[in-house]
Amino acid sequence: MNATNLVKPERTPCPVPVSPVSVTAHAVLHSADFIRPRLRASGLGRVVLHAGVQINGAPHVGTNVMQTATFLLAAAVRDRFGAEVSIRFGALDNAPYESRSCSSTGTLYERSFRHVLGAPRVGELVRRYYGGLFDALSDATGIPYDVETYTDQQSRPEFRQEFLDSLGLMDTLRWVLAPSTGTVPVSFPCPRCGWTQKHGEDTELLSADAREARFAAVCLDHGKYLVEVTPGTDTYIGLTTLHRNLVKERAAARDADALPLIVKGADWAPGCRLLDEAFLCFPGAVPPPRVFTPVVLSDSGAKLSKTLLREGTADLSAETEPWMLDATAWEGTVEEYARTLLGLGSLMLSEPRHFERGYTTREVARLIAGEPG
């Protein structure tokens, strides 16, 4: 796609989705209103929306729908409540780039995108997959944004302090973050080669208090090594998905001048039940407000995902265009792509019952084409 400045398009008529009555009918007239109680209670005039960015391959339409919805939600929060808003996207450069296993034990080791490619090439991936689109969406909505990698997030003192605080409550947290097993592993890349034990089987917590934690870990090539985590050290911290999100969200809540609003796809709702319970393990803590965006589904009803696409089990309809599976296959300009997503996202956000649901790729194609139901 060609990155050029987006000119706000004239809205074209779109067909209306046929959506069931929402359980929030009459209580919520716009999905942005989910934030109203917390915004009023906080007395704050600034809101920072937090959303995610995957860099382990080109995004599909479901990912871009979530990100477009984030810009539209931010604009709605600004316009409805008069709040100052911005968006912070977290780029997951900790995603596995390569893996190997121990020949004798089968223990799996991984190296992340950050440890294989380095910061400059990770930045290039972010710009390639999202830079032009995010700039176009920002121009159209007037909402500023920034992108921060997980590597940068975990290096901040507030993140590291929240991680240390979570260790002090782990006897309780572990049955919330992993209710089936009670095991919440932590991993640390080998300081010499960057390989890390995926499930942290041999990572041992030696000591921990409010200011410092010491661990022992094992590298397939270099054997045992020791790591120390304090708010000021540069030790790279690898956490499970729920543990990582808990620490990130608690770190975001440390900003006394802004209310954090967590934006995730609706498939995250079960996990966020556990995250909210994890927040309540901290004395006096309150989970952040959340808004869940529509997900894009295959014909089978399964969420469109890179795993299903890679496995060839996505069960896609004939109406599924190549660009829906790989945004870089869009044949037009980036402003045309942004206009398409903004029109689709605005339609979804027009009523809560249209926002609180999923859409198959077949339905997405129909709505974009403007065909009647």
List the CATH number of the domain containing 359.
3.40.50
pLDDT at position 306, please? Answer: 79
d(CA 329, CA 58): 9
pLDDT at position 1, please? Answer: 53
d(CA 172, CA 180): 13
pLDDT at position 15, please? Answer: 76
pLDDT at position 311, please? Answer: 76
pLDDT at position 14, please? Answer: 56
**pTM for the predicted model, two decimal places:** 0.93
pLDDT at position 13, please? Answer: 45
Question: What string of pLDDT tens digits covers the 373 residues of the chain?
Answer: 544 444 344 444 457 888 988 888 889 999 999 999 999 999 999 999 999 999 999 999 999 999 999 999 999 999 999 999 999 999 999 999 999 999 999 999 999 999 999 999 999 999 999 999 999 999 999 999 999 999 999 999 999 999 999 999 999 999 999 999 999 999 999 999 999 999 999 999 999 999 999 999 999 999 999 999 999 999 999 999 999 999 999 999 999 999 999 999 999 999 999 999 999 999 999 999 999 999 999 988 888 887 777 778 777 888 889 999 999 999 999 999 999 999 999 999 999 999 999 999 999 999 998 866 5
pLDDT at position 373, please? Answer: 54
Q: Which residues pair with 290 in a beta bridge?
A: 262
The reply to whether 229 falls in a domain is no
Q: Which residues pair with 216 in a beta bridge?
A: 204, 226
**Residue found under tokens 């009918």:** 25
The reply to whether 220 falls in a domain is no
**Whole domain around residue 37: which residue ranges?**
31-105+112-155+168-177+241-369
**Which residues are CB-contacts of 170 (< 8 A; sequence separation ≥ 6)?**
184
The reply to whether 51 falls in a domain is yes
The reply to whether 123 falls in a domain is yes
The reply to whether 231 falls in a domain is no
**Which residues are CB-contacts of 139 (< 8 A; sequence separation ≥ 6)?**
5, 6
| Burial class of residue 195 (count of CB atoms within 10 Å of its CB; 0-12, 13-18, 19+) | buried
- State how many domains the chain has: 1
